[in-house]
């Protein structure tokens, strides 16, 4: 027992856990001492399952978060979260992405393809999800049963109420599951979008960087049918009236003030074995970052040809650049913090704890089993990553594979399923395929695979492109496509429309390459599915050991369900002899300003700053308008657009990024380097007021009478 207590104490000290760390599920909020941390309102004002609370003002916007700021369905999210919608609505003649947009009346608001989700309710369904799993003959069967049980729960809920959407989310790996019921709003319209030189001031140069000076916000409005039901765009629709909307605090905050965030953080990987992190660090993240950066360079080169191409590639470049720089930051953080080594040391403590118990304990060999499982994956790591990621990067690959699968169904006289599949996929096959980018990128991927070690060779690559350099690979690809049906998207669609095997040509060399390649991809999938089921079961046992050691300090990984994180306004020292203050101001915009490029700024904004025409939005202590601010909250992807709230639950800004040293948050949080970045409500109001003269919006937001 003494040995156990020593091990447990050592683990807790080693893990550097603090009260500020955590993305807490709503059910855990009541267990936190938020009043001691600085909260000035009852916890029930944040989350009240039996009444209205701040949670009701927060919405999921695609992969981001947003929050209602008026009773008329007005909600705010990040500029980069609305980027794709604004880009799609833009034309060369009306470039709302470049120039910005303000709808002075509701009639001028622009429709989008966005949807938002609001939590209606949720319930623990662990017993239903895990029913029968104790007797499952294998990990694969257990995983399949969990999936089947979850689908049955969702189907039952849909039969009860078809007006809601449903998700079953795993909260504690292999142990607890929650059914979330969402109301989906399908008519979302653009109300306000700042010009690119405000919303994305600093561009990729400042992405994942502090200090920050961009107005990363946009404002939209949700609409519903007159009877309150969710309906796609219709002129008869009316503004949605949320149960709760946030009060905007335009008076500002000070250093060390308490703040908190409600949002939908994406997947984190803190409760995973050290081998998982090592695999990401050594293989997966470097591969994706390298390919994305190559693809970005190609699109930037093509964008120089015309403004139309700049618009066409803008959203894709932004998404790829965001991911690649994020991964570079993670790789730096993993190296600097020696996280794999830390986890190995923690696992040694866990091993010692498990082996103080009965020698017959089922967990006695846990770490040996995990090591063996990852050895299987690592044996062909380069090849595995290539086969797994290539179809995600090159749309042409899955499009061709779908086409070949449909033809095979027709050949087997499975006309019913062939027609069903073709109806759902034929409009998508090659619809997003861009040969100007994808073919050179595919050539680059093929060349990368040709350089792998012998044990990681991709047979199809060697067979069709063996011995060629990258330039020759590209030339051969283009020649293959010129003789293939896949060289002409219209021919592909025409052959699908005829709905018979004889119309679907697949005897060319490119088709043969795709067929051989997918034989290898399918073999990999046959391996990785059972492997993931096995590792999921091992991770459940791994988490049990972690929970035993961490006791009340254990918080489950984020999984795109609503979470609360809290902390304080704080600066930090990212490296030796460098200290970053927690606030930036308009002065910094002038200091960064250049005539063109990432730091271009609107002339109107420049004049306002030079004349110090700040209006009521200036901070007395700073003598300037606060643009951005730092806080030590625990955030990750999905928290983009989350409202930053003060001790009274008022909106003081919008979360939009992390500092470069905090990109590692997906794997670990640390008080010394984890800082998130928000756009201050005062800068938002300043831009709306002084730059855009959007007085009606300020009144609707309640910051002006």
pLDDT in tens, 261-296: 999 999 999 999 999 999 999 999 999 999 999 999
Mean pLDDT of 535-549: 88
Give the contacts of 445 (CB within 8 A, at least 6 positions apart): 291, 386, 390, 393, 394
DSSP string, 62-89: TTEEEEE-STTSEEEE-HHHHHHHHHHH
239 bridge partner residues: 223
663 CB-side CA count, 13 A: 22
Answer yes or no: is pLDDT of 633 > 80. Answer: yes
Asked if residue 179 is part of any domain, the answer here is no
Binning the chain into helix, strand and coil, the percentages to the nearest 5 are 50, 15, 35
Measured torsion, CA atoms of residues 280, 285, 288, 292, in degrees rounded to the nearest 10: 160
State the average pLDDT over residues 649-668: 93
Are 596 and 498 contained in the same domain? no
Taking residues 304-309, report their average pLDDT: 88
d(CA 276, CA 535): 10
The reported pLDDT for the residue numbered 551 is 67
| The two three-digit tokens of residue 550, written as one number | 């961490």
The residue whose two tokens read 């046992």 is 541
What average pLDDT does this structure show over 362-378? 91
**Which residue, among 283, 277, 280, 281, has the nearest Cα to 347 in the 3D structure?**
277
Would you give the DSSP letter of residue 429? T
- For residue 607, give the H/E element and its range: helix 603-610
Which pairing describes strands 583-585 and 651-658: parallel, antiparallel, or unpaired? unpaired
Distance CA 375, CA 244 (A): 51
pLDDT at 12 > cutoff 60:
no
Q: Identify the pLDDT of residue 357.
A: 55
In a domain, 397, yes or no: yes
Name the residue range of residue 318's domain.
272-377
Query: Does residue 640 come out as left (phi exceeding 0), alpha (psi in the -120 to 50 range) or beta?
Result: beta
- Cα 548 to chain centroid distance, Å, stands at 30
On whether residue 563 sits in a domain, the answer given is: yes
Residues 371 and 454 in one domain: no
Cβ contacts of 177 within 8 Å, gap of 6 or more? 124, 125, 126, 128, 129, 130, 146, 150, 168, 169, 170, 171
* Pair (361, 388) in one structural domain: no
pLDDT at 336: 87
Angle, helices 79-89 vs 307-337, to 10°: value is 160
Q: What is the CATH number of the domain that holds 606?
A: 2.40.10.10
φ/ψ of 468, rounded to 5, equals -95, 145
My answer on whether 702 and 566 are in the same domain is: yes
**Domain stop point among 377, 399, 416:** 377
Does the bond joining 211 to the residue before it have cis omega, within 30 degrees of 0?
Answer: yes
**358 conformational bin, left if phi > 0, alpha if psi -120 to 50, beta if neither:** beta
CB atoms within 10 A of CB 693: 12
pLDDT of residue 177: 93
Same domain, 703 and 560: yes
Query: What is the β-pairing status of strands 563-568 and 651-658?
Result: unpaired
pLDDT digits (tens, 9 = 90+) for 34-81: 999 999 999 999 999 889 999 999 999 999 999 999 999 999 999 999
Q: Which of these three, 344, 359, 377, is where a domain ends?
A: 377
Least confident range of 4-18, 427-441, 681-695: 4-18
Of 521, 14, 659, 571, nearest in space to 256 by CA:
571
pLDDT for 358 equals 58
Is 212 among the domain residues?
no
Q: Is pLDDT at 303 greater than 60 in this prediction?
A: yes
User: How long, in residues, is the chain?
Assistant: 705
Residues 615 and 701 in one domain: yes
> Where is mean pLDDT largest: 43-52, 320-329, 680-689?
680-689
According to DSSP, residue 20 is labeled T
**CB distance 203 to 598 below 8 Å:** yes
Q: What pLDDT is stored for residue 422 in this prediction?
A: 67
Which of 200, 53, 197 is CA-nearest to residue 118?
53
Instruction: Tell whether 30 and 74 lie within a shared domain.
Output: yes
Query: Is a pLDDT exceeding 80 seen at residue 550?
Result: no
pLDDT greater than 90 at residue 646: yes
What is the average per-residue pLDDT within 608-618? 96
Q: For 118-170, how does the pLDDT look when each residue is reduced to its tens digit (9 = 90+)?
A: 999 989 999 999 999 999 998 889 999 999 999 999 999 999 999 999 999 99
Same domain, 693 and 562: yes
Q: Is residue 444 part of a domain?
A: yes
- Position 466 scores a pLDDT of 92
Say if residues 120 and 179 touch (Cβ distance below 8 Å). no
Query: Distance between alpha carbon 336 and the CA centroid of its chain, in Å?
Result: 24
| pLDDT over 50 at 541, yes or no | yes
Kindly report, residue by residue over 418-469, the tens digit of the pLDDT: 777 767 677 778 887 889 999 999 999 999 999 999 999 999 999 999 999 9
Q: Supply the pLDDT for residue 414.
A: 82
Residues 685 and 572 in one domain: yes
How far are the Cα atoms of 60, 225, 462, 627 from residue 185, in angstroms, in the given order?
10, 10, 50, 31
Q: Which class for 357: exposed (0-12), middle (13-18), buried (19 or more C-beta within 10 A)?
A: exposed
Query: Rounded to the nearest 5°, which phi and psi values hold at 277?
Result: -65, -40
Is residue 209 in some structural domain? no
What angle separates helix 139-160 from helix 509-550, to the nearest 10 degrees? 90
pTM metric for this prediction = 0.86
The greatest distance separating any two alpha carbons of the chain, rounded to the nearest whole angstrom, comes to 77
| pLDDT computed for residue 13 by the predictor | 31
Phi, psi of 364 (to 5 degrees): -60, -40
> Is residue 413 predicted with pLDDT exceeding 70?
yes
Q: Does 199 map to a domain?
A: no
Domain count, the chain: 3
pLDDT at 4: 34
What sign has the CA pseudo-torsion 138, 143, 149, 155? negative
C-alpha distance from residue 628 to each of 345, 509, 575, 586, 675 (Å): 38, 55, 21, 10, 12
Rounded-to-integer distance, Cα 234 and Cα 189, Å:
11
Give the pLDDT score at 670: 82
Confidence of residue 552 (pLDDT cuts 50, 70, 90): low
Given 348, 377, 406, the domain boundary residue is: 377
Rounded Cα distance, 608 and 200, in Å = 19
Mean per-residue pLDDT over the chain, rounded: 91
Question: Do the Cβ atoms of 281 and 334 come closer than 8 Å?
Answer: yes
Mean pLDDT of 236-257: 96
Least confident of 221-235, 429-443, 610-624: 429-443
Q: Which residues contact 451 (CB under 8 A, 6 or more apart)?
A: none
Write the Ramachandran bin of 602: left for phi over 0, alpha for psi from -120 to 50, otherwise beta: beta
Where is pLDDT greater, at 447 or 409?
Answer: 447
**Residue 318 vs residue 373, higher pLDDT:** 373
C-alpha distances (whole Å) from 314 to each of 87, 433, 439 are 8, 16, 19
627 and 642, same structural domain? yes
Asked if 100 and 692 count as a contact pair (C-beta separation under 8 A), the reply is yes
Bridge partners for 404 per DSSP: none
Identify the pLDDT of residue 6: 30
Handedness of CA 429, 432, 435, 441 (dihedral sign): negative
Angle subtended at Cα 360 by Cα 354 and Cα 361, rounded to the nearest 5 degrees: 40
Q: What pLDDT score does 7 carry? A: 34
Same domain membership, residue 298 and residue 255? no
Is 484 found in the same domain as 343? no
Question: Percent of the chain, pLDDT > 70?
Answer: 96
119 lies in some domain = no
User: In sequence order, which residues have a C-beta less than 8 Å from that of residue 372 and are 6 or more positions away?
Assistant: none
């Amino acid at each position: 027992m003494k040995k156990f207590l020593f091990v447990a104490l050592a683990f807790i000290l080693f893990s550097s856990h603090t009260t500020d760390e955590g993305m807490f599920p709503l059910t855990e909020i009541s267990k936190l001492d938020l009043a001691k941390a600085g909260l000035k309102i009852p916890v029930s004002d944040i989350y009240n399952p039996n009444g209205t609370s701040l949670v009701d003002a927060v919405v999921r916007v695609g992969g981001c978060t947003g929050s209602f700021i008026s009773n008329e369905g007005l909600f705010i999210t990040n500029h980069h979260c609305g980027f794709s919608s604004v880009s799609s609505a833009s034309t060369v003649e009306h470039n709302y992405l470049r120039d910005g947009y303000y709808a002075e009346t509701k009639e001028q608001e622009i429709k989008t393809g966005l949807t938002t989700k609001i939590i209606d309710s949720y319930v623990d369904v662990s017993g239903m999800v895990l029913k029968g799993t104790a007797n499952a003959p294998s990990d694969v069967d257990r995983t399949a049963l969990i999936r089947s049980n979850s689908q049955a729960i969702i189907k039952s809920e849909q039969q009860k109420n078809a007006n809601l959407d449903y998700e079953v989310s795993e909260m504690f790996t292999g142990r607890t599951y929650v059914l979330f019921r969402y109301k989906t709003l399908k008519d979302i319209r653009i109300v306000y979008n700042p010009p690119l030189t405000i919303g994305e001031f600093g561009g990729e140069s400042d992405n994942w960087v502090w200090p920050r000076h961009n107005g990363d916000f946009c404002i939209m409005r949700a609409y519903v049918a007159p009877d309150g039901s969710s309906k796609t765009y219709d002129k008869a629709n009316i503004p949605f009236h949320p149960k709760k909307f946030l009060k905007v605090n335009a008076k500002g905050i000070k250093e060390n003030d308490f703040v908190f965030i409600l949002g939908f953080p994406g997947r984190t990987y803190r409760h995973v074995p050290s081998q998982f992190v090592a695999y990401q660090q050594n293989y997966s993240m470097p591969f994706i970052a390298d390919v994305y950066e190559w693809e970005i360079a190609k699109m930037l080169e093509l964008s120089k040809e015309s403004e139309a191409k700049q618009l066409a590639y803008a959203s894709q470049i932004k998404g790829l650049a965001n991911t690649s720089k994020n991964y570079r930051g993670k790789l730096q953080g993993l190296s600097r913090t020696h996280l794999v080594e830390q986890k190995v040391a923690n696992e040694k403590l866990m091993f010692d704890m498990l082996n103080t118990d009965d020698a017959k304990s089922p967990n006695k060999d846990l770490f040996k089993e995990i090591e063996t499982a990852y050895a299987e994956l690592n044996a062909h790591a380069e090849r595995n990553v290539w086969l797994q990621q290539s179809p995600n990067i090159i749309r042409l690959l899955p499009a061709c594979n779908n086409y070949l699968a449909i033809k095979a169904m027709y050949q087997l006289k499975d006309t019913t399923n062939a027609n069903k599949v073709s109806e759902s996929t034929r409009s998508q096959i090659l619809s997003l395929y861009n040969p100007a980018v994808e073919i050179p990128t595919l050539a680059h991927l093929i060349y990368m695979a040709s350089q792998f070690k012998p044990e990681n060779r991709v047979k199809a690559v060697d067979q069709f492109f063996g011995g060629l350099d990258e330039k020759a690979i590209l030339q051969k690809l283009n020649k293959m496509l010129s003789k293939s049906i896949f060289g002409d998207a219209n021919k592909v669609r025409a052959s699908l429309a005829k709905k018979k095997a004889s119309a679907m040509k697949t005897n060319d060399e490119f088709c043969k390459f795709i067929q051989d390649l997918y034989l290898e991809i399918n073999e990999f999938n046959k391996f990785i599915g059972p492997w993931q089921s096995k590792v999921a079961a091992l991770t459940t046992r791994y988490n049990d050991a972690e929970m035993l050691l961490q006791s009340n300090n254990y918080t489950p990984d984020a999984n795109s369900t609503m979470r609360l994180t809290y902390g304080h306004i704080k600066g930090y020292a990212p490296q030796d002899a460098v200290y970053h203050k927690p606030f930036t101001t308009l002065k910094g915009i002038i200091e960064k300003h250049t005539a063109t490029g990432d730091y271009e700024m609107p002339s109107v904004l420049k004049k306002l700053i030079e004349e110090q025409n700040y209006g009521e939005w200036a901070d007395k202590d700073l003598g300037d308008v606060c643009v951005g601010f730092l806080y030590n909250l625990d955030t990750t992807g999905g928290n983009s657009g989350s409202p930053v709230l003060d001790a009274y639950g008022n909106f003081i800004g919008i979360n939009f990024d992390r500092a470069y040293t905090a990109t590692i948050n997906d794997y670990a949080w640390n008080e010394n380097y984890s800082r998130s970045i928000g756009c201050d409500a005062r800068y938002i109001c300043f831009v709306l007021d002084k730059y855009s003269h959007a007085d009606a919006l300020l009144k609707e937001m309640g910051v002006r009478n």
